[in-house]
Amino acid sequence: MSTFETLTDQLSLDTFIEQHDLSFLYISRPNCSVCVSLLPQIEEVMAEFPDVKPAYVNTETIPEVASRFNIFTVPVLILFVEGKEYLREARIVPVQPFKEKVQQIVEGYTS
């Protein structure tokens, strides 16, 4: 299982995004092979950005997340800055370019 905080309902999801200036959601489902194989790589990337608070969302636990964020496939990776979506990647995510995008956003926010 993920080292990310696991969100289990819509209220905890809303609260998580509101409480953190920089928040990140890894949205997936357990029976998705791409989701399972990508998660450890993304955990490593996010560990390099301690200012970003990461969380894991299972679409089977919170099915409303799909309509709320217009999700048609998983995994979906979303980075929020002050509650606004700044970066979204889905399905096949090249890890190094993703890391570079996150770094640019975090550096721009924290500097």
Percent of the chain predicted with pLDDT > 90: 95
Q: What class does CATH assign to 5-110?
A: alpha beta
2 — pLDDT class (breaks 50, 70, 90):
low
Do 25 and 75 contact (CB within 8 A), yes or no? Answer: no
Checking DSSP bridges between strand 5-7 and strand 22-28, what pairing results, if any?
unpaired
d(CA 111, CA 106): 8
Residue with tokens 């990647």, as numbered in its chain: 89
pLDDT for the residue 111? 84
For residue 103, give the H/E element and its range: helix 95-110
> What confidence tens digit (pLDDT) does each residue in 32-51 have?
999 999 999 999 999 999 99
DSSP per-residue string spanning 6-35: EE-SHHHHHHHHHH-SEEEEEEE-TT-HHH
Give the residue extent of every domain in the chain. Answer: 5-110
pTM attached to this predicted model:
0.95
What pLDDT does 1 receive? Answer: 47
